[in-house]
Structure 1
Amino acid sequence: MAGEKEPLEHMEEAAKDADTAAALVGHALDETNQPRYDDKETIKLMRRVDWRVLPMLTFLYLISFLDRGNIGNAKVAGMNDDLGLTGAQFNMAVTVFFIPYAIFEVPSNIVLKLMRPSWWISIIVTAWGTVMLCQGFVQNYHGLIATRIILGVTEAGFFPAAAYLVTTWYCRFEVQRRMALFYSAASLAGAFSGLLAFGIQHMDGVGNLAGWRWIYILEGILSVLAGLATPFVLPDSPDTAGFLTAAEKATIKFRLEQDSGTAAGKVSTTESFQWKFLWAALFDWKIWFAVFIFWGNTVPLYAFTYTAPSIILELGYTSAQAQLLTIPIYLVGMISTLGCSWLADRRRTRWPFIVIPYSVGVIGFLGLLAIPHPRLPGLTYGWLFFIPAGLYPPVITMASWLGNNLAPTWKRSIGIALGISLANAGGIVGSNIFIAKQAPHYWLGYGFCFGCVCVAILSTLVLRYAYKTANEKRDKLSEEEVRAKYTEQELLDLGDYSPLYRYVL
């Protein structure tokens, strides 16, 4: 008899879940069939998702930025002297990281879509932690170059994976402030790296190892432990999340499907791989054009990350003081990123929150170019705050804008990775424009960064015009005209090219 009850119990449970899902869906959509963002039921559900998805992504991105950027702290702590590196050799060690980092981002996101995301992220985090640990034992320039190349390979997949993962949980105007939370770890890493380096370099001589070696070793161990823990902490998708009920899973999926910008349009969330989605991403000019906007961040910011401790050191401070004085600069960048992202989602727009922060960066670089170095060291330090404050917010806004305007999910996964990979090629340039012999003026560094940010502002206005024009053309078509020409499946496969889809501006 017990065996006969089980099917009935399952049917009752399924019916109950279906009723609950229907009720939740009613709360999740507004009168135009678009996702709600501010009703109590939706806020409660998405807050639970926040606590399970965002803390681990934030922590992993923090250690990712620590591990790629700590070479600047190691330099100040004596690495160049111990390894006999020239200024050009140090710049090359910074540069080679970005070549494989840019190349492997798209392949990494393809693998991400083919296996459990938590397992793939675990593999790459554990791998880069192991490389970082090995970097603490390099004995010469060639060993440092080798580890930096391998570090670029292993770190390549994380940011595009994390950015894509956020879009699989949240609707378009919920994405940016969530991305900002984990991306703000990049600015926090700049502050935390200086604090860590300040403490760790006092281990100089422990185990007969120099203090700069312990910076790599301890941060590498931390990354390995984090990578091993990832599959047990980070959920893969709404469909497989154990902390959600069946009704809650259905609600999240339904909200994402309705998130097309119009009441009639839908987007696919579970489509299987087809080559046309790959070609759609590779031949979308808007993704390639977005790279100019990204470069306004990556070229100056990577240059600044690797050079800031040295710039402060040249103001007359000690090595330890230079490490500590980077902390407030990066904290300002974190606050700026969180504030701009909150406003961008609240206002449901993107382009102003690229242009306005970049304008702050333009002012900062103009100020640094105008100062009669090396006089007025306090003023130089003050102008440094404008750089992360102006450059951190636009990259997360642009990543959100790109993700908001790509569908279906395969195109979004590949498109995000493609845009970010080409953007990170800017690190190759940024690593070589602050030339040691130009210190403390750095005419090339500050001037080139100024030009990159100006180009980014102009490119943002062009892309905004393209999206706006496309929306206006689609507004002229009625739903009846569109459905007479396309089937429902064809509209889903068209993704953001569908006449029923509207771009975020």
Structure 2
Amino acid sequence: MTGSSPSRPSRDDTKTADIESFPDEAVKGNFGTQAELENVTAIVDHKAERALCRRFDVRILPMLTIMYLFNALDKGNLGNAETDGLSNDLNFKEGQYNLILSIFFIPYVIFAPPFAMLGKKFSPARVLPILMFTFGSMTMCSAATKNFGGIFALRWFLGMAEAAFFPLVIYYLTMFYRRGELARRLAIFYAASNIANAFSGLIAFGVFQFPKSSLENWRYLFLIEGGVTVLWAAFAFWYLPRSAAEAKFLSEDEKALAFHRIQVDSSAVVNEKFKFREAIAIFKHPTSFIFLFIEICLGVPIQGVALFMPQIIERLGYKTVKTNLYTVAPNVTGAVMLLILAFCSDFAKIRSPFIVLGFLLTFCGFIVYASIDDVQAKIDVAYFATFMMTWGTSAPSVLLSTWYNNNIAHEGRRVLLTSIGVPLANLMGLVSSNVFREKDKPKYEPALITVACFGAVGALLAGLLGLYMWFDNKRRDRRAGVKMRARDIPTERMRDGPSSPEFRWFL
């Protein structure tokens, strides 16, 4: 065992996990009975476990949620600034606005894996606030740009700073929560992105009311959002615990319980030292590539909504201020739908059907909006379609990341695949930012159809992968002569992934 984790709970510690009650044959043997397997993963004191989760929910989750809210604000405020005349004020030529959208995603993908590895080595609790301080500073500097070259360079550094943020948050949460608890917590965290898009519209609505001065109002937008981000990053660096073992708000019994929970239902080895050669073995499994293809299909609609929702709603005929205000409701309901699907997914202990449902909502939203010729005559239907767009992009993003993290017990492999998958989805902003062309304005019909097609393919791939996992679990049960579920098998026995006969897919 590596790292600074506390030792296993003592044999007489009945307040946390009674390890002596675990049969040796269930821990050491290749197979045990289903009752033995469930005993290994059980917690003796469920009241203590619920209290521990509540502590994490109160002390860690709100901090991460607010951090991600600022992350989403600083990444997505360019669309709001554009509605206030950013391109005109900086004398952009045709296509240059799309270029500053696109350049963000190149460093976002390049630097995500190395920065995520640094986060694994030095703890996300230290690396996340540093990244946050950096992207907040880049946002503030954007207020001082005078031309295309200046904001183009800043968007590059913004992409670098935000590259590993979401993958590291996912990994950080897996250090505190069981697999079956992760989706709803991650949904609460990710809902900050939808709230940020809504909040960004409200902030822009307020800032664009400022009296005219020597500074354009969009510059104030960058200054305000970037400044608050920098201040919160300094607080987060002091506040976040490096791990449950170093959390000052936990007692020794609670630290032991936290260790046991993660050992049997999240990580094969808690706080395992990162070894690249072992981590890269994740790509020996073909399912890893399917997950990445689904991330690609997910990325196009996510970035289409995040970057172009103000422009999509602008087609409804509202002025600049009202356009930003009308982006609020779709994003808020997107957050609500995300929470509903994630809580249902955790309750059912299954991921794939809810991911498919999300993709189908995306497909329907974009197709309905693209099919309307006279938007003024059917303005209610058109506006409702924007709600479906946000409903369908929110839930799959969380559940997909949760899905493959649930199926990877090796911490190094988990952080590596996440640090590639999440940025890969964001790289699809290159597609979104270039299919929404100026010449197709205001309907953007080719872009809407393209995004809808990615949603349809994503639904198909997620459905087929879920079916494969179900059939493979059945096949493994027949070979073993015992029916087992993924949540009943301790993750310390699933370190080798699908190559282990005991492995079962978390559907």
TM-score (norm 2): 0.89
- Equivalence for 2:54: 47
Matched, 1:248 2:250: no
Aligned twin of 1:290? 291
Letter of the 1:270 counterpart: N
- The worse-fitting range, judged by mean Cα deviation, of 286-295 and 179-188 is 286-295
Separation in 1 of the partners of 2:474 and 2:263? 23
Task: Measure the CA separation in 2 of the matches of 1:156 and 1:179.
Answer: 18
- 1:118 and 1:234 in contact (8 A); partners too: yes
Q: 2:421 aligns with which of 414, 419, 422?
A: 419
| Structure 1 runs of 4+ with >6 Å offset | 27-30
Q: CA deviation at 1:83?
A: 0.8
Alpha carbons 1:296, 1:391 under 8 Å: kept: no
Q: CA offset at residue 443 of structure 1?
A: 1.5
Compared CA separation, residues 493 and 300, structure 1 to 2 (3 A): closer
Identity of aligned residues (%): 31
| TM-align CA RMSD | 2.6
Q: Decide whether aligned partners of structure 1 residues 298 and 37 sit closer, same or farther in structure 2, where only a CA change above 3 A counts.
A: farther
- How far apart, in 1, do the equivalents of 2:287 and 2:215 lie? 50
Distance of 1:143 and 1:209 partners within structure 2: 17
C-alpha spacing 1:90/1:251, structure 2 compared with 1 (3 Å): same
Matched, 1:360 2:361: yes
Contact 2:361 2:392 in 1 (8 A): yes
SS of 1:198's partner is helix
Is 1:103 aligned with 2:110? yes
Equivalences, count: 478
Q: 1:26: how far off?
A: 4.4
Please report how far the alpha carbon of residue 107 of structure 1 lies from its aligned counterpart in structure 2 after TM superposition.
Answer: 1.0
What is the letter of the counterpart of residue 101 of structure 2? V
Residue in structure 1 matched with residue 398 of structure 2 by the alignment: 396
Within a 5 Å distance, the mapping from 1:2-401 to structure 2 comes to 18=10, 21-26=13-18, 31-35=38-42, 39-203=46-210, 205-206=212-213, 208-259=214-265, 267-376=268-377, 377-401=379-403
Task: Tell me the distance in 2 between the aligned counterparts of 1:499 and 1:427.
Answer: 39
Moved more, 376-385 or 97-106: 376-385
- Provide the rounded CA distance (Å) in 2 between the counterparts of 1:244 and 1:412: 26
Correspondent of 1:460 among 459, 462, 469: 462
Contact map agreement 1:309 1:322 (CA 8 A) in 2: yes
Cα shift at 1:475: 2.3
In structure 2, the residue corresponding to 1:441 is in which secondary structure?
coil
Uncovered stretches (5+) of structure 1, i.e. residues with no partner: 1-13, 261-265, 481-487
Q: Which amino acid aligns with 2:259?
A: K
User: CA shift at 1:493, angstroms?
Assistant: 4.8
CA distance in 1, matches of 2:328, 2:153: 30
The alpha carbon displacement at 1:313 in A equals 2.4
| 1:468 to partner: Cα distance | 2.5
Q: For the Cα contact (< 8 Å) 1:406–1:496, is it kept in 2?
A: no
Structure 1 residues 314, 366: closer, same or farther in 2, change over 3 A? Answer: closer
Structure 2: unaligned runs, 5 residues or longer: 1-5, 23-34, 483-489
Answer with 76-85 or 301-310: which moved more.
301-310
Change in Cα spacing, 1:434 to 1:21, as seen in structure 2 (3 Å) is: farther
Kindly tell me: are residues 97 and 37 of structure 1, through their superposed partners in 2, closer, same or farther at Cα, counting changes over 3 Å?
farther
Cα offset for 1:259?
1.9
**Aligned amino acid, residue 156 of structure 2:** I
* CA displacement at 1:407 relative to structure 2: 1.8
2 CA distance for matches of 1:441 and 1:454?
21
Shift of 1:293: 1.9
Question: Cα offset for 1:339?
Answer: 0.5
- Is the CA contact 2:268–2:492 (under 8 Å) kept in the aligned structure 1? no
Find the aligned partners of 1:135 and 1:321 in 2 and give their Cα distance: 24
Hey, what's the Cα distance between the residues in 2 that align with 1:308 and 1:46? Answer: 36
One-letter amino acid matched to 2:421: G
